[in-house]
Structure 1
């Protein structure tokens, strides 16, 4: 029997598994305009999350992570205006929105200033990991190749993005891939980060 992990919610503890690695499948949403987004299913093909891209929302640089019922979990925006013009890194910010429409900042992600950059830093508000680090999570590897990991500031693997070996042998499109989330970590947060990576690298949410 697997040991019970410490639950580390960022969006909600509802999306943290206490003892099992959760394997999610990401599939580009079919039959929609460019930038329509993607769906995330579990091992039984049940929809867990949906991501709306700019083709669905009609707004560039904005994404919405929804639950299976279509309720908004995260509103994710690319920071614009003068701040972006003066900044070396473009930033994305993820917000939780309450029933009154009040936005609460959950995380920020620095977009790499080069397509050759391998590591992408993610900050959580309030900080959940090592307060002595200037980042809470880091994406390492190549998202376009679907070969990357998310680690926390203590060096623990939070999630892995990859394509099944069988799918690689069959030359299946990378529009279908898996995200393995370790016990205790927030699947909604991980999928929010994946949504931003998808947009940065001009995939299913990008217009």
Structure 2
């Protein structure tokens, strides 16, 4: 694995010096994206997302908040978009504010990875591969010359340490490599849930369009 200092994308206080596992809990199972909370390894609430309204689908604007309710990211779906493109904005989106990043399917045909482009100087690019619907995918950092890639975060099923039993898909781990912005990673989770979770009305079939599933932890 490459060792380098990572740029802060959303907020430096959510970048950890050591590899860190956040526990993410989907707080409503009736519709994808109704609610999420994320906790650090000590059980401290870090992030939350709540969305309750008369129209569970589709949601074109999501707000990622910290534990106090401060908005960290505004996530907006672009329509129309064959690639299911989303854009992320720092804080509560203001009029004429430029997006921080864009996230979209790499292909509209068959199984595909997801590409994330972070704007800036220099810009950054990430790729997401695996099966989000099975809570088993990785986020890779892609260098500008595309010569190699580095895993910076992973979504995987959580195992109860007391019983060694794998929990349901509504509780999972978000594993962060040292220095990778946890708020940015959680924003990507919210978008993935809208793109690919079970029962998403935007899909014509029930096959997860992110590339081949990775093996879940034993």
| TM tier, smaller | 0.7 to 0.9
Q: Which has the higher contact order (CA 8 A, sep 6+)?
A: 1
- Residue 93 of structure 1 corresponds to 87
**Out of 7, 32, 40, which is 1:42 matched to?**
40
User: 2:33 touches 2:193 (CA, 8 Å); kept in 1?
Assistant: no
Query: Which TM-score applies when normalising by structure 1?
Result: 0.78
1:202–1:5 Cα change, 3 Å: same
Find the aligned partners of 1:98 and 1:53 in 2 and give their Cα distance.
Answer: 15
Q: After the TM superposition, which residues 1-207 of structure 1 pair with which residues of structure 2 at under 5 Å, given as runs?
A: 6-17=5-16, 19-30=17-28, 35-53=33-51, 55=53, 60-80=59-79, 84=80, 87-97=81-91, 103-111=97-105, 116-126=110-120, 128=122, 136-154=125-143, 155-166=149-160, 170=165, 172-202=167-197
SS in 1 for 2:100: strand
**Structure 1: which 5+ residue stretches go unaligned?**
131-135
1:20–1:90 Cα change, 3 Å: same
RMSD across aligned C-alpha pairs, in angstroms?
A: 3.3
C-alpha deviation, 1:184, in angstroms:
1.3
User: 1:16 touches 1:185 (CA, 8 Å); kept in 2?
Assistant: yes
C-alpha deviation, 1:6, in angstroms:
1.2
User: 1:21 touches 1:183 (CA, 8 Å); kept in 2?
Assistant: yes
- Residue 133 of structure 1 corresponds to none
Find the aligned partners of 2:138 and 2:180 in 1 and give their Cα distance.
Answer: 13
C-alpha deviation, 1:196, in angstroms:
0.2
SS in 2 for 1:144: helix
Query: Which TM-score applies when normalising by structure 2?
Result: 0.74
**Structure 2: which 5+ residue stretches go unaligned?**
144-148, 203-218
- Residue 211 of structure 2 corresponds to none
User: 1:195 touches 1:205 (CA, 8 Å); kept in 2?
Assistant: no
